[in-house]
Amino acid sequence: MGCGAERQPRPRPHRRALGCERSGHPSTYVEAVEVDPKGVVTVTTAGFSAALNARKLQFVPYQDATVAKDMTLPDHRGAGVSLWVCKPAGTNGIPAEYLPPACRG
């Protein structure tokens, strides 16, 4: 690795986890990344103003143009994701005026 950084092995994720969950400030503007059993990725913000800290943005995987994936269903597992839809989380979501245009729909 560059800059003298040593790559540390990551512990194996729980068998129901996807391995991308992080907490404890994984970056300057992210407090945590969580993945629910259906495969929805929720990002919690940090490092912004008080109005935006601890707000949540979700990325929902879709099986096709109209059907959201549900990784708890056997026929949805193993199939690719055709698109991701971003949106504010239902609870403590990022206000629409701060979202990228693609996430406001």
Rounded distance, CA 85 to CA 6, Å? 35
16-56 pLDDT, tens digit per residue, is 555 555 556 668 889 999 999 999 999 999 988 888 999 99
* Whether pLDDT at 9 is above 80: no
What is the per-residue pLDDT for 25?
Answer: 62
Rounded distance, CA 21 to CA 67, Å? 24
In this predicted model, which residue has the larger pLDDT, 4 or 45? Answer: 45
pTM metric for this prediction: 0.73
How far is residue 61 from each of residues 2, 11, 38, 51, 103, measured CA to CA in Å? 33, 25, 9, 28, 13
What does the block give as tokens for 40? 């929805």
Question: Are 84 and 62 a contacting pair, CB within 8 Å?
Answer: yes
